[in-house]
């Protein structure tokens, strides 16, 4: 356990936040710091063909130790952390034998991680939790996944009696800004299928995700001295309010669950002269997804008609699509992961991701890629935490998957 804790803390101590406003790849130079560290570590534990390319993709191989043909499979996690909350100077707190009560993350600022609000904490009584100090995110998304993959590979190297085919691993930049698979070289990776270790609680196994688009609204106003503004001023902020009110009020993240899609306003900046709104649009069903995008654009067009001018400029861009279409024809790869969990006493929780994953884009690039739990909770904010026992179970699942795959093709 301590070896895993030390490895995880080493990774989260490196700030790797990506930047959605930067078109460079990777979007931040600091992602290279972890990428290069991983290259050296993978070499040290004994992996082969360890590379980092000019765009910060890290890849490595654990050669097969059987004398018969087994499909090459892969495990993938991402280097970057979310730009939604600070990832600089992460100061992790370790709580052994959690007692099920409130955890004071930051006494000075009265920041408390409480099971009265986050009731999933109660699942981990008696376990070892790693939390933030309340001032940053933790980075379990997805450095827990990285730690699990590296530790599993290290264990397999140290235990050659565990039979497996060739295993490829990869760590990607810029997943949190939707670009993690954009430059991923599927042919170079060379796996028949793979798994991203990027889910949340123990048992999660996912091969469905949102169809996703971004929406950018730019509203142009006219700023006139308020004392002389009658019939002349156009306040872009008030028009922005009209646009927001024109979308379904109950179809937002905090009021939807399961397969329900939403519109999410995640940024708003403006003054009288100009206001910009940034949205994300999500739905699992492709037909409903297209209708959402259409309503989004029609709302802007109707406001333009009302003002008899183009006060609103709109830009909608597709980001990724539901991987279900690409995974269903090879559903045995999900079956293997499901059986791996059952073999070690985990109840699989097969459900749709209310989000995205590198696996979505990779599946459409020819690498079917379901998603497996990495163990963390409350990603992208100050209340993020991960039970160490959950990380250990993720390692066990990886080991079971490679064993079951080797047995299946024996």
pLDDT, position 303: 95
CB burial class (10 A; 0-12, 13-18, 19+) of residue 380? middle
- Sorted by sequence, the CB contacts under 8 Å of residue 6 that are 6+ apart come out as none
pLDDT of residue 282: 97
Annotated catalytic residue: which of 19, 166, 175, 198? Answer: 175
pLDDT on residue 374? 97
> Do both 242 and 313 map to the same domain?
yes
**Catalytic: which of 41, 80, 176, 283?**
80
Q: What is the pLDDT of residue 355?
A: 83
Q: Are residues 7 and 106 in the same domain?
A: yes
80 is catalytic: yes
pLDDT band at 178 (very low <50, low <70, confident <90, very high): confident
| Residues 39 and 186 both lie in one domain | yes
Regarding whether 302 and 378 lie in a shared domain, the answer is: no
Please give the tally of structural domains in the chain: 2
Asked if 153 and 223 sit in the same domain, the reply is no
Cβ atoms 33, 171 nearer than 8 A: no
Residue 309 has pLDDT above 90, yes or no: no
Q: What is the CATH number of the domain that holds 284?
A: 3.30.70.360
pLDDT band at 125 (very low <50, low <70, confident <90, very high): very high
Same domain for 333 and 203? yes
Q: What is the pLDDT of residues 210-227, one digit of tens each?
A: 999 999 999 999 999 999
The rounded mean pLDDT for the chain is 96
CB-count exposure of residue 69 (10 Å: 0-12, 13-18, 19+) = exposed
Global confidence as pTM = 0.89
105 and 41, same domain (yes or no): yes
Q: Assess whether 160 and 18 both reside in one domain.
A: yes
Q: Which residues contact 141 (CB under 8 A, 6 or more apart)?
A: 81, 82, 176, 198, 374, 376, 379, 380, 384
- Same domain, yes or no: 252 and 167: no
218-268 residue pLDDT tens = 999 999 999 999 999 999 999 999 999 999 999 999 999 999 999 999 999
Tens of pLDDT, residues 15-61: 999 998 899 999 999 999 999 999 999 999 999 999 999 999 999 99
**Residue 27: which of 158, 134, 129, 172 has the closest Cα?**
172
A 10 A CB-CB count for 91 gives: 15
- pLDDT at residue number 334: 97
pLDDT above 90 for 332 = yes
Residue 158: the pLDDT is 97
pLDDT score for 410: 87
Question: Residue 204: pLDDT above 90?
Answer: yes
Range of the domain at 72: 2-209+322-408
**Domain-ending residue, one of 286, 319, 352:** 319
pLDDT given at position 65:
97
Distance between CA atoms of 176 and 58, rounded to whole angstroms? 17
- Residue 208 main-chain phi, psi, to 5 deg: -125, 145
Which DSSP helix (H) or strand (E) runs through 263?
Answer: strand 262-270
Q: Which pLDDT does position 36 carry in this prediction?
A: 98
Based on the domain organization, do 147 and 44 belong to the same domain? yes
Active site residue 204: no
| pLDDT at position 28 | 97
59 and 185 within one domain: yes
CATH number at residue 193: 3.40.630.10
Q: What is the pLDDT of residue 96?
A: 97
The answer to whether residue 301 scores a pLDDT higher than 90 is: yes
Q: 103-106 and 211-220 as β-strands: parallel, antiparallel, unpaired? A: unpaired
């Amino acid at each position: 356990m301590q070896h895993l804790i030390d490895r995880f803390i080493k990774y989260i101590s490196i700030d790797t936040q990506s930047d959605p406003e930067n078109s460079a790849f990777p979007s931040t130079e600091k992602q290279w710091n972890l990428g290069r560290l991983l290259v050296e570590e993978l070499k040290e534990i004994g992996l082969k063909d360890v590379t980092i390319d000019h765009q910060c993709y890290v890849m490595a191989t654990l050669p097969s130790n059987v004398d018969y043909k087994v499909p090459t499979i892969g495990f993938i996690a991402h280097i970057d952390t979310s730009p939604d909350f600070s990832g600089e100077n992460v100061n992790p707190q370790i709580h052994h034998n959690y007692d099920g009560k409130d955890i004071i993350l930051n006494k000075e600022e009265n920041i408390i991680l409480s099971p009265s609000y986050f009731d999933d904490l109660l699942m981990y009584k008696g376990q070892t939790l790693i939390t933030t100090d309340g001032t940053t995110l933790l980075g379990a998304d997805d450095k827990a996944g990285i730690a699990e993959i590296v530790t599993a590979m290290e264990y397999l190297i140290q235990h050659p009696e565990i039979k497996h085919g060739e295993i490829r691993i990869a760590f990607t930049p810029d997943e949190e800004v939707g670009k993690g698979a954009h430059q991923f070289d599927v042919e170079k990776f060379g796996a028949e299928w793979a798994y991203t270790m990027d889910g949340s609680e123990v048992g999660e196994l996912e091969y469905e995700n949102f169809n996703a688009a971004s929406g950018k609204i730019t509203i142009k106003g006219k700023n006139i001295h308020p004392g002389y503004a009658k019939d002349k001023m156009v306040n872009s902020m008030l028009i922005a309010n009209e646009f927001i009110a024109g979308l379904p009020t109950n179809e937002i993240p905090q009021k939807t669950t399961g397969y329900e899609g939403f519109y999410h306003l995640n940024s708003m900046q403006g003054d009288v002269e100009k206001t910009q709104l940034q949205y994300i649009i999500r739905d699992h069903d492709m037909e409903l997804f297209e209708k959402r995008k259409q309503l989004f654009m029609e709302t802007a067009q109707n406001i333009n008609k009302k003002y008899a001018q183009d006060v609103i400029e709109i830009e909608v861009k597709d980001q990724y699509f539901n991987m279900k279409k690409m995974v269903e024809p090879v559903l045995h790869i999900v079956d293997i992961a499901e059986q791996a969990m059952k073999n070690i006493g985990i109840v699989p929780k097969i459900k749709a991701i209310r989000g995205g994953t590198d696996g979505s884009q990779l599946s459409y690039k020819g690498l079917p890629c379901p998603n497996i739990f990495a163990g963390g909770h409350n990603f992208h904010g100050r209340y993020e935490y991960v039970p160490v026992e959950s990380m250990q179970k993720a390692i066990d699942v990886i080991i079971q998957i490679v064993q079951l795959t080797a047995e299946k093709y024996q």
